């Protein structure tokens, strides 16, 4: 069901992009904006793992340096039937975790020192399952495609604003005139951001479901989310809010950050869904006996 929702939202982003491109510059303006956004996001997608890991001063570890984390990551990836990702630790007491990388063969899982101190082995396995699910689902690719369309819409909106400032948008324009300009410059970028954030939230729900299914740690992942949500220390993302969507819990604010602009669903809803999935899994187990 989440997959269908994501497809629908991606189609909505594409339709919005085509509409705004037509309003602003017709077919040529649309193509130019899409090319610019694609180049920017292709570079980000290709080098995202190196950029993010360096940004957080993450240190790669092996089974000798941190046997506990390495063992759990290896166990979960074996269950998920994917290649072993690189394993990193971020030097901060703020508990969180993320996965990055452009594909299964170039993936990395990172946890903070604070997360390793806060969670027990079962909870840590639940968190790693969530991150491995992101890798398995190719969420970096989905996020990049969504960002490309949202970025292209932003570029078109900027063109529309500058056109209005310098009088380059004629009142006789058969693509909507002043109303079209208003939609292109203000409404469309806002709508694109809302859709992009909605896609991010659905990906988090899906990673919870698939990750817990891989590890069979529904309750443990729920417990981990509860602990992370109540943690008094959070990652300082003042200078890098664009990476917030990578984290397992939203590091930008507390539980009140539940608006349509949030990159993550409310933790309470995630926990509720995990408990329901645990009951369904248990019921299926009894049914198969």
How far does Cα 98 stand from its chain's mean position? Answer: 10
The token pair that represents 22 in the structure block: 């037509």
List pLDDT tens digits, range 203-228. Answer: 899 999 999 999 999 999 999 999 99
Q: Above 90 in pLDDT, residue 177?
A: no
Q: What is the mean pLDDT of the chain?
A: 80
Q: In degrees to the nearest 10, what's the CA dihedral of 235, 240, 241, 246?
A: -70
Residues belonging to the active site:
131
**Beta strands across the sheet bearing 106-112:** 59-61, 86-90, 106-112, 97-103
Q: How confident is the model at residue 277 (pLDDT cuts 50, 70, 90)?
A: very high
* Residue 91, pLDDT score: 93
Six token digits for residue 267: 């933790």
HEC sequence for 81-97:
CCCCCEEEEECCCCCCE
Residues in CB range of 186: below 8 A, 6 or more apart = 157
Mean pLDDT of 172-176: 49
Q: C-alpha angle 256/259/261, rounded to 5°?
A: 125
What pTM did the predictor assign? Answer: 0.76
Q: Please tell me which residue, 281 or 123, carries the higher pLDDT value.
A: 123
Read off the pLDDT band of 283 (50, 70, 90). Answer: low
Euclidean distance between CA atoms 20 and 173, whole angstroms: 14
Euclidean distance between CA atoms 121 and 217, whole angstroms: 11
**Helices vs strands, H then E, count in the chain:** 9, 4
Q: What is the pLDDT of residues 240-270, one digit of tens each?
A: 555 677 788 877 654 444 466 687 889 999 9
Q: Give the tens place of pLDDT for each residue, 29-84.
A: 667 767 777 777 677 667 777 878 888 899 999 999 999 999 999 999 999 999 99
pLDDT given for residue 143 in this prediction: 73
Cα Rg of the chain, angstroms: 21
Q: For residue 138, which phi and psi values (nearest 5 degrees)?
A: 60, 45
């Amino acid at each position: 069901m989440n997959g269908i929702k994501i497809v629908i939202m991606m189609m909505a982003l594409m339709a919005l992009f085509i509409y705004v491109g037509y309003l602003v510059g017709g077919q040529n303006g649309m193509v130019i904006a899409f090319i610019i956004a694609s180049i920017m996001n292709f570079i980000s997608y290709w080098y995202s793992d190196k950029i993010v890991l360096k940004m957080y001063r993450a240190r790669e570890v092996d089974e000798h340096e941190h046997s506990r984390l390495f063992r759990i990551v290896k166990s979960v990836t074996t269950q998920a039937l994917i290649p072993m990702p690189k394993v990193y630790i971020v030097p901060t007491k703020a508990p969180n975790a993320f996965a990055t990388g452009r594909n299964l063969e170039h993936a990395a899982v990172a946890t903070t020192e604070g997360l390793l101190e806060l969670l027990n082995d079962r909870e840590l396995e639940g968190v790693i399952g969530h991150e491995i699910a992101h890798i398995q689902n190719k969420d970096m690719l989905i996020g990049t495609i969504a960002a490309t369309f949202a970025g292209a819409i932003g570029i078109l909106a900027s063109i529309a604003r500058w056109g209005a400032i310098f009088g380059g948008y004629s009142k006789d324009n058969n693509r909507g005139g002043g109303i079209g300009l208003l939609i292109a410059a203000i409404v469309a970028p806002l709508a694109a951001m809302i859709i992009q954030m909605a896609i991010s939230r659905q990906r988090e729900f899906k990673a919870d479901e698939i990750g817990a299914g891989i590890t069979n740690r529904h309750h443990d992942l729920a417990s981990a989310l509860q602990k992370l949500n109540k943690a008094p220390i959070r990652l300082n993302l003042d200078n890098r809010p664009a990476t917030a969507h990578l984290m397992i819990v939203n590091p930008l604010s507390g539980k009140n950050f539940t608006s349509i602009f949030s990159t993550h669903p409310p933790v309470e809803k995630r926990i509720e869904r995990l408990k329901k999935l645990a009951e369904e899994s248990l019921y299926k187990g009894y049914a198969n006996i």
